[in-house]
Each structure stands twice: as C-alpha cells, then as structure tokens.
Homo-oligomer: A and B are copies of this chain.
Amino acid sequence: MAVSGVLRPGHAQIRVMDLDAGVHHYRDVLGLEEMGRDASGRVFLRAWDERDHHSVILRQDDNAGIDFFGFKVLDEATLDRLEADLQAYGVKTSRIPAGELMETGERVRFEIPSGHQIELYAHKTFMGGTLGQHDPSPYNAKMDKGIAPMRLDHCLLYGPNVGEVLELFTKVLGFHLAEYVTLPDSDEKGALWLSCSNKAHDIAFVIHPEPNKLHHVSFYMESWERVLRAADIMAANDVPVDIGPTRHGITRGGTIYAWDPSGNRFETFSGGNISYPDQEPIGWSWEGLGEGGGLDVAHRKMHETFLSVVT
C-alpha cells in the first residue's frame, strides 16, 4: 500500500497541573470538543476535522509535560509486525490493554533513546468528521469555536541521542527525514523533522541534555489568516505567547508558539511543505536555524526560549 505502517499522530497525553484550567484552555480557548472523561479523571478531546474519538488527553499531575505520544497504524497486523520489528531492533515494548484509553484498542508502548514514551495502536473508534460522512455540510459552528484547529498535527520533543532516534524512526518505524539541522561546526544532526506521511513532519526532535521533555504539541490551522485569529483569541484569553505569528523557514509553516496554563507549549501551525521519502531532506546549519530564519523567518534569530523552555 502506498500509505501503510504508521499512519499519523493519533494522540498526545498532556499533563496539566490544574485540570479545570487545562480543560478551559484546550476546550474553550483552543476549541477542542470534549469527548468524555474516564474513571481516573482524564479528559479526552478532539479537533473539528478529526475522524477518530479523540486526539488530546489531559491528565492532572504535579508536573507538566507529555506522558506519551501515540501513532495510529494501519491495522492489527501492522501493529504486530512493528512490535516485532521494534523488539528485533532491541527496543523493549509493552502492551497496554484495550480500553485503558477511551474507545482505543491495545497499544504497544516503548521508550525511545530520547527518553520519550511512544505508542502505536491500530484501533480507535471512528466517529466520522463533524461535518458528516455522507453529503457533508460545508460548515458548522464547531469550525469557529475558539481557535478551532483542524487536527492534532505533530509534536516536538527534546532529549538526548537524537542520532539514535533518527535510526529508530527511519529504519524501524518507516518515517522519512524531511528536514534537519546540524550542530555548530559539525555534521551531526541536532534536530530532526520526521514524517510518516506527506506532511512536513509528524514528529520532530531537538537535542537536549535532559530526557523526555516536551517542546510543543502542534495543532493545524487552515490558513495563515486563521493563525492571526488564533493570536486574537489568545490575547482575548490572556494566553502567553512565545514566538510568532511568523513563518518557520523549516517546514515553511505559519506558526505561533504559546503556553497552556501549566506551561506546556502548544503551536498553531498552518501550511508547511509537502514531503516524500524519495526526496533529499532539506538541511539547515545551526546558523540557518537561527540567523537563517529556520526557526523564525521574520526575525532570523535564535530565540532563547526555543532552546531552554520545555516541560
């Protein structure tokens, strides 16, 4: 099949330090729809153009950050095959029973060399889009509730061993490298934009001494104009903004980085390159990331927070 194996980012479980504030942020300000809560109090949400049951799970905890990032795979056979491939590669995996996440099948969990927990799963209840699956309407009010991203798009994770992460994602999980940044005066790749699709990226990594850190979870906006509307809504709701609106040179996407009430960074992202596995990845030098506009086309500088503020 042309698209098979790992399909897409399916969910991110985000730790928030005040659940009510977190729900207010992700549901009322970002505009995700609350799909349910489980016995442990976790809140499940999804964006208006998603098809499966949920994509964001909020869990209250004393520390902000990301518990795990999960990818939907094509089917159960793919899940079994990828689990076997991971084990053969030397990655320890575990199975989390179906139903541990609402409306979600069994998940294969493993830790990657950057210290993050990644999951694969083959089943989550298909709800259909909010516009409908048969003669869909062109509009409903959910498209304008809050910032109203279309979908969970990707995450950027910080941790060590980025070279090993690259090997794992490309050799075992079938991702391709779309863009990368080399470290100063080095050929070593210090940042990766990895895609399992034609998107500019489905997951990205930046080298960092401390493992298992979250830089941001990203949500897809339909246009650059909707990114500005996101800024307006952030302002109306006192959401602190880190960077943007601007364009990332890397991915060419429009962006705002901002923080949820617990200090987790999130992104409202638009546009972005199309990528294919047969194409040479786009390479950025360390200067290109900063002064070359890789991070911020308008300002062409390394923002201090980009490298230092993570959860």
Measured CB to CB, the residues of A under 8 A from B are: 1-8, 49, 51, 72, 74-75, 126, 128-129, 133-140, 144, 150-151, 173-176, 195-199, 222-225, 228-229, 231-236, 241, 244-247, 249, 252, 254, 256, 271, 273-274, 276-280, 282-285, 287-288, 292-294, 297-300
From A282, which residue of chain B is reached at the shortest CB distance?
B133
Chain B residues within an 8 Å CB radius of A49: 273-274
Pick from B133, B225, B244: contact of A223, CB below 8 A.
B225
B138 touches A252 (CB 8 A): yes
Pick from B7, B126, B283: contact of A280, CB below 8 A.
B126
Chain B residues within an 8 Å CB radius of A299: 241
Q: Complex: how many Å from CA A244 to CA B244?
A: 8
Chain B residues within an 8 Å CB radius of A276: 3, 7-8, 51, 72
Chain B residues within an 8 Å CB radius of A283: 133-135
What is the CB-to-nearest-CB distance from A116 to chain B, in angstroms, rounded to a whole number?
19
From A173, which residue of chain B is reached at the shortest CB distance?
B2
B297 touches A231 (CB 8 A): yes
Chain B residues within an 8 Å CB radius of A233: 139
Chain B residues within an 8 Å CB radius of A231: 138, 246-247, 297-298
Chain A's interface: helix, strand, loop or mixed, by majority? loop
Q: Which of A75, A136, A229, A249 has the most CB of B within 10 A?
A: A136
Q: Complex: how many Å from CA A72 to CA B151?
A: 28
From A202, which residue of chain B is reached at the shortest CB distance?
B2
Q: Complex: how many Å from CA A278 to CA B74?
A: 6
Chain B residues within an 8 Å CB radius of A245: 245-246, 298
Q: Which of A137, A176, A244, A298 has the most CB of B within 10 A?
A: A298
Q: Complex: how many Å from CA A279 to CA B8?
A: 12
Q: List 14 A-B contacts (CB under 8 A).
A: A2-B5, A72-B278, A75-B278, A126-B279, A129-B282, A134-B285, A136-B249, A138-B235, A138-B297, A144-B144, A151-B274, A231-B298, A232-B297, A235-B300
Chain B residues within an 8 Å CB radius of A150: 274
Chain B residues within an 8 Å CB radius of A140: 236
B139 touches A236 (CB 8 A): yes
